[in-house]
Structure 1
Amino acid sequence: MSKNVLLTGGTGFIGSHLIEMLLENGYNVSVLSRSSKKNNPQVTYYQWNLKQNLIDEEAVLKADYIIHLAGEGIVEKRWTSRRKKAIVESRVKPIELIHSILVKHNKTLDAFVSASGIGIYGAKTDHKICNENTPPANDFLGTTCQKWENAVDTIGALNIRTVKVRTGIVFGKDEGFIKKLAPTFKSGFGAVLGSGKQYLPWIYIDDLCRIYLKTIADEKLEGPYNACVTDNTTNSRFSKTFANLFGYTIWLPKIPPFFLRFLLGEMSEAVLKGQRVSSEKIQETGFQFQFTDLEKTLINCIK
């Protein structure tokens, strides 16, 4: 019989791609959504409301695997106190609700897989290469990811295999990170941010979805895994490569840090700093990235 996979955040950029790949691989897919809209006739949709602590229990009880992708965008809005709270709660609260249902019904799962972020290593730039054993940072991104992963551990305490996918910047065709930047670069106004030396660990959407498939199919996978290409791409290299694809060399001066801090506040740290991150652990499981060349990947995103 086909296994049932339940997704939170299944209507977003990553979730919509992952659904297609899961269906292609013979899984039954269901989605927890705030909307009653049914985007895909092959998917079963269940409703939830985090503000009211409501979740359709049937969604959890029918699941063999749960993949948790839900969460407010990190760089969508300025980091006010209210926004920070929403970012954390949108990641942690769904896990708490799912945990309560699992306990209430003594329900087990084949695996619980959660998104996380390389932001756990902090908003800082140095030459140290971070791996899964690197301690979490004490800044906002670091503590957010730590709370996120601590919530996942409560599922693990129920004797359920758990996996945490620490994701880098996700590239995709006309979506996500690329969608935000493409209009500016296409119009000839691309620029390097800050010093340009900050690292930009990235992953193409297809590779990320293949990692999620591996986390549910491979019972040996457990704990955190970095999901990004280890090629030491910096903001400067990315920006110059992206501009070249639109037929020009960057002519604007680097956007100074003080201007970005004025414009974005504390959130500017997310774009002004970045870590080198190793993907050795996931590759040691036999996973092979299909998209490792920055220029070719970016061409694939805009063609």
Structure 2
Amino acid sequence: MNKNIAITGATGYLGFKFLKRLLEDGFNVCVVKRKTSNVSKIKLLRENIKFYDNDELSIVQMFEENKVDMIIHFSTLYGRKGETIFEIKDANLDFPLLLLKHAIDNDVNYFINTGTSLPYLTNQYSLFKNQFSECLAFFSSKITTINVLLEHFYGPDDEDSKFVTSMIGKMKSNVADIELTEGIQLRDFIFIEDVISAYLCLISNITKFEGFNVLPLGSGETVTIRKIVETIKEVSGSTSNLLFGKVAMRENELMCSNADISKLKDLGWNPKYNLNAGLKLTVESYK
């Protein structure tokens, strides 16, 4: 495979870190972005990165100017900041479908999608994410597609709106009382560096795939929400009181999420960071 990749979501946490690794490894990268995205940090990585907006005119231009071999789709919209259902649908279904359509028209070989491990009806985000995965399956006779079911990832410098980072912020500030659910939900948390190494493993082994593929990505181990919050408190030395059971479970709460990482292991990938090591690095870097 030639080293020509188009990537979305490069201004986000995971996308930016992965873009940095791609550039370090000598890939030629086109960045598809929102018109309003701030790309100043990306330009510090390399001056001659090609940027294209996430509208049809710019996407057509990208394929006219570049021979793209692979698309890696990271961009998403969780809906945590009051976005409308139409904005969430556009980000998680309409835009990637537009990108997929033009990828097929321009003979792109591979489309790697960052999906979700959440069931269909958990929320609006998971609804449209799962609908797009069906589009990947539908068009897989024309382009090899991989739908990565990414579990909860975390790491240094992540957004404060994410669960782990939010908890670390409260603990480091020694917020007096932190109200939580019972915390009995089981989750699979994976450290950011393990996520990046898994995607690089996928790229290295991409010719082993054909058609539509579902690939779970996590640590392969589950832990209760209560356990991870208590571990954050211990690692940070916080004096905060953890008030479990004060918050009701959300509607359609997923009680257990666990990635079967056997497919990735067959490709030679294994996570290197256990939960304690990952949380320690994340807590120590928190500003």
Short-chain TM bin: 0.7 to 0.9
Q: What are the within-5 Å matches in structure 2 for residues 106-121 of structure 1?
A: 106-119=105-118
For residue 283 of structure 1, what is the aligned residue in structure 2?
Answer: 265
1:60 aligned partner: 63
From 168, 181, 189, the counterpart of 2:167: 181
How many angstroms does 1:281 deviate by? 2.5
Distance 1:77 1:107 in 2: 35
Q: 1:248 to 1:145 in 2, by over 3 A?
A: same
Report the CA distance between 1:102 and its aligned residue.
3.7
Cα separation, 2, equivalents of 1:301 and 1:68: 25
The range that moved more, 173-182 or 41-50, is 41-50
Contact 1:230 1:279 in 2 (8 A): yes
The letter for the 1-side match of 2:155 is G
Aligned to 1:220: 208
Alignment: residue pair count = 269
Residue 16 of structure 1 deviates from its aligned partner by 0.5
What's the CA shift string for 1:44-98, capped at 9, x where partnerless?
2323244xx4433232352111101111125x235xxx63332232122222222
Question: CA, structure 1 residues 55+231, in 2 after alignment: closer, same or farther (shift >3 Å)?
Answer: same
Conserved? CA contact 2:100–2:111, under 8 Å: no
- Deviations along 1:4-33, whole A, 9 cap, x unmatched? 111011111011000111112221112011
Residue number in structure 2 paired with 1:206 = 193
TM-score normalised by L of structure 2: 0.82
Runs of 4+ deviating beyond 6 Å: none
Asked if residue 88 in structure 1 is aligned to residue 89 in structure 2, the reply is yes
Q: Distance in 2 between matches of 1:95 and 1:167?
A: 17
1:77 to 66, 78, 81: 81
- Percentage of matched positions with identical amino acids: 21
After superposition, the CA RMSD in angstroms is 2.6
The secondary structure found in structure 2 opposite 1:91 is helix
Q: Distance in 1 between matches of 2:260 and 2:158?
A: 25
Match of 2:181, SS state, is coil
Task: Report the residue type matching 2:168 in the other structure.
Answer: A
Q: Is the CA contact 2:217–2:259 (under 8 Å) kept in the aligned structure 1?
A: no
Check conservation: 2:236, 2:283, Cα contact below 8 A. Answer: no
Quick check: 2:171–2:239 contact (8 Å CA) kept in 1?
A: no
Whether the 8 Å contact between 1:240 and 1:249 is mirrored in structure 2 is no
Matches within 5 A, 1:1-303: 3-33=3-33, 34=35, 35=37, 37-38=39-40, 39-40=42-43, 41-42=46-47, 44-50=49-55, 53-61=56-64, 62=66, 63-74=68-79, 76-78=80-82, 83-103=84-104, 106-119=105-118, 122=119, 137-140=120-123, 142-158=126-142, 160-176=143-159, 177=162, 178-189=164-175, 191=178, 193-218=180-205, 219-221=207-209, 223-248=213-238, 251-258=241-248, 273-291=255-273, 293-303=274-284
Provide the secondary structure at the position in 2 that maps to 1:67: strand
Where does the alignment leave 5 or more consecutive residues of structure 1 unmatched? 123-136
| Distance (Å, rounded) in 2 between the aligned partners of 1:84 and 1:274 | 26
For residue 101 of structure 1, give the secondary structure of its aligned residue in structure 2: helix
In the alignment, structure 2 segments of 5+ residues that lack a partner are none
Instruction: State how far apart, in whole Å, the 2-side matches of 1:205 and 1:235 are.
Output: 18
Alpha-carbon distance between aligned partners in 2 of 1:24 and 1:187, rounded to the nearest angstrom: 36
TM-score for the superposition, normalised by structure 1: 0.78
What is the DSSP-based 3-state SS (H/G/I as helix, E as strand, rest coil) of the residue aligned with 2:153?
strand
Find the residue that maps to 2:170 and give its secondary structure. helix
**Is the 1:197–1:234 Cα contact (8 Å) retained in structure 2?**
yes
In 1: Cα distance, 2:139 partner to 2:96 partner: 8
Distance 2:122 2:238 in 1: 37
Letter in 2 for 1:214: C
1:70 aligns to what SS in structure 2? coil
Looking at structure 2, the residues matched to 193 and 211 of structure 1 have their Cα atoms a distance apart, in angstroms, of: 32
Q: Give, in whole Å, the separation in 2 of the partners of 1:48 and 1:154.
A: 26
Gap change, CA 1:164 and 1:152, over 3 Å in 2: same
